[in-house]
Chains A and B, each alone.
Chain A
Amino acid sequence: MNTEAEHTVVTWSGDLLWPQTLPDAAVIDCSQVTAVGSWLHAWLRQRGQRALVGANPSIRRQLSAARLPILWYATLQQVPKADVPGRQHGVSHGERALLLGEWSEEDSHG
């Protein structure tokens, strides 16, 4: 599946510790992000569900602890079309992986 062709994907990078203007899309590639600040929690809350791809474990821990509506994926290839935020029904591939404990730390590195 050529996921990138099917979803709008934006890429964030670096440390996002300070408020700034970020590109927004249903799928966000975070594989080059080193750290995020709490201002981003509010940013994500305002926008609703997003799919974050390749986030490092500490970012996943931080954003999960903040109970943000995020779908987690290790790679862009894992983002199924049905997981585009905004869908109404069903359990996504990412949610299923989380529920079944199939998500591993290595996943985040693709």
Chain B
Amino acid sequence: MKILLIEDEVAIRSALSRALGRWGHDVHTAGSLAEARECAQNDPPEVVVTDLKLPDGSGLDVAIELGQPFVLMSGYGSFEDAVEAFRNGCVDFLTKPVALQQLKSALHRIGDRRGSVPTVVVDCDDVSLVRPCATSFATETLHIQRLQWDDLVSAQAQVATIAEASLRCRQVLAELAQVPGANSVAINRDNQGWRFWLPVQVNWDDPVHSDRRQVIEDCADRCWWRPQGVMVECFHEH
């Protein structure tokens, strides 16, 4: 595949470029947004692999602009960044230092699914993804927490401690906690609303989940149903 690699750190750019070349890809590199735009204009890429934080802006912006499947890399990625990326066609969100195997897997998925809607893939067990870093991307009110439970009694007790959560948020959390196999959920709250990420592999189209799915969709403002989990967003009620 024709890949545009955007990375400002020379050593990382060089190492990734070599790896991508070894895997048989046609690699073009850029160290900034300006270079990336110029490069894409001369030779439009099929896939973009970009650092999130670049000297002249956000790699996410240029990835969205180019309209191709993309993989985002960041050492400072917040949960908000991930949400924004997934909304805009991100295939994978890798935390630095990037594991080459993860990058390779992400590119394979793109290769397998070219022409179809990109699949959202996120490894939310990687706590660095949801770490509330003090980056320019995180709002002042960013608040992230993770609930983990062994049984539903424990889950219920933890949800009860989230005093600020509205009834519908608690209803969403209760439904998510009761998904078979679920034992943790990441929660992001900012001044716009709540986001819940349940990292559990489920076939959401299976009729056995239809009641739960219906209830969650009724309570939530937006849902992203994915094979790797579900992200649910509830805006604050004003």
Provide the residues of chain A in CB contact with B178, threshold 8 Å: 18-19, 37-39
Given contacts A17-B174, A19-B152, A62-B218, A35 and B167 within 8 Å (CB-CB): yes
Contact with B along A24-66 (1 / 0, CB 8 A): 0000000000110111011000000000000000000110011
Give Cα A13–Cα B51 distance, bound, in whole angstroms: 52
Tell me, rounded to whole Å, the shortest Cβ–Cβ distance linking B171 to chain A. 5
Provide the residues of chain A in CB contact with B215, threshold 8 Å: 37-38, 62
Q: Does B226 contact A (CB under 8 A)?
A: no
A38 B167 Cβ-Cβ under 8 A: no
Give Cα A61–Cα B214 distance, bound, in whole angstroms: 11
What is the interface size of chain B, counting residues whose CB is below 8 A from a CB of the partner? 13
Provide the residues of chain B in CB contact with A39, threshold 8 Å: 178
Give Cα A18–Cα B152 distance, bound, in whole angstroms: 8
Q: Which of B170, B178, B215 has the most CB of A within 10 A?
A: B215
Q: Closest residue to B208 on the A side, CB-wise? A: A42
Q: Which of A38, A42, A66 contacts B175 (CB 8 A)?
A: A38
Give Cα A35–Cα B167 distance, bound, in whole angstroms: 8
Chain A at the B interface: SS class: mixed
A65 B167 Cβ-Cβ under 8 A: no
Q: Does B156 contact A (CB under 8 A)?
A: yes
Q: Closest residue to B212 on the A side, CB-wise? A: A38
Q: Closest residue to B167 on the A side, CB-wise? A: A35
Q: Does A107 contact B (CB under 8 A)?
A: no
B152 A66 Cβ-Cβ under 8 A: no
Give Cα A42–Cα B215 distance, bound, in whole angstroms: 13
Q: Does A4 contact B (CB under 8 A)?
A: no
Give Cα A49–Cα B114 distance, bound, in whole angstroms: 49
A66 B170 Cβ-Cβ under 8 A: no
Q: Does A15 contact B (CB under 8 A)?
A: yes
B170 A38 Cβ-Cβ under 8 A: no
What are 10 A-to-B residue pairs whose CB atoms are below 8 Å?
A15-B171, A17-B171, A18-B174, A18-B178, A34-B167, A37-B215, A38-B212, A62-B214, A62-B215, A62-B218
